Amino acid sequence: MDKKPSIGVLIIVKNAEAHLEKTLSSVSGWVDEIIILDSGSEDNTLQIAQKYTSKIYHQEWLGFGLQRQKAQSYIVSDWILALDSDEEVTEQLKTSILNAIQNDDGKSIYQINRLTKAFGKFIRHSGWYPDKITRLYLNKSTKYNNSLVHESVVIPDGYSTKLLDGDLLHYTIDTIPNYVNKTQHYMKAWVDQREGKKKSTLFGAIIHGIARFIKMYILKKGFLDGRHGLLLALLSANTTFTRYADLWLREHNKKEQ
């Protein structure tokens, strides 16, 4: 009789109390292990995590890619399901995951369709849905890349990706201050990763911001998400402008020194 494949959940956290309980309860009871890698939480994150797992580790922030690699190093299960601390596995997705690992051909890596809730509404347009992300893979087959931000799973030669049924619910933004706090972290990492490698101008930053709004609100049909779609397009345009402006300003200040 073939051995049942085991599966471990990988979650990196910091001050994640808002949605972590929902995330952990959605995988509790059907996965074999849950690995939590914390980078300095000061809220109730660790108390919540302790209700679901004893495998809690600590690591100063290395960047998203390396942080996920570190978390993976603690997993002994055959399969890895990488989750964010504000995501929830639906019943349909759970069934699809279990079927996939039981019937895997040994050369597949699995994508999941993420449905995001922002400011109290699930966003089904605006370029946010469908949102196919690679999250399920054999432990021995691969890992995340080294990117500081927008990290991704490395697809090895000879492997193909397959899309699982069911959505991964993502509770990303609750308030404007929440959006600002989250994007500041991502923006800095984005600019840090490109400083000295990518050029920008202030005019170019403006163009990038306008282009982002047009793409999100018109081309990706953000207008179908109503006022939420308009708000998200405006916020995203501002974020895009700001990161390109920051990239330009850093280079400009170096020249002025």
Residue 49, judged by CB atoms within 10 A of its CB (0-12, 13-18, 19+), counts as: buried
Statement: residue 151 has pLDDT above 70: yes
Statement: residue 57 has pLDDT above 60: yes
| The predicted structure's pLDDT at residue 1 | 47
For 133-143, how does the pLDDT look when each residue is reduced to its tens digit (9 = 90+)?
999 999 999 99
CATH superfamily of domain region 7-172: Spore Coat Polysaccharide Biosynthesis Protein SpsA; Chain A (3.90.550.10)
d(CA 52, CA 27): 10
- Mean pLDDT over residues 180-204, rounded? 90
Statement: residue 255 has pLDDT above 80: no
Q: Tokens for 227, please give them.
A: 């006022």
Q: Tokens for 143, please give them.
A: 């890992």
Say if residues 200 and 240 touch (Cβ distance below 8 Å): no
**Residue in the block written with tokens 């081309």:** 219
Q: Is the dihedral of CA 170, 68, 151, 39 positive or negative?
A: positive
pTM: predicted TM-score of the whole model, two decimal places: 0.91
Residue 109, judged by CB atoms within 10 A of its CB (0-12, 13-18, 19+), counts as: buried
Q: Verify cis geometry, omega within 30 degrees of 0, for the bond prior to 177.
A: no
Statement: residue 21 has pLDDT above 50: yes
Statement: residue 159 has pLDDT above 80: yes
What is the average pLDDT score of the chain? 95
Say if residues 134 and 155 touch (Cβ distance below 8 Å): yes
- The torsion angles phi and psi of 29, rounded to 5 degrees, stand at 100, -20
Amino acid at 216: M
Statement: residue 205 has pLDDT above 90: yes
| The predicted structure's pLDDT at residue 253 | 86
Query: In the chain, where does the domain assigned CATH 3.90.550.10 lie?
Result: 7-172
Mean pLDDT lowest for which of 99-103, 121-125, 234-238, 250-254?
Answer: 250-254
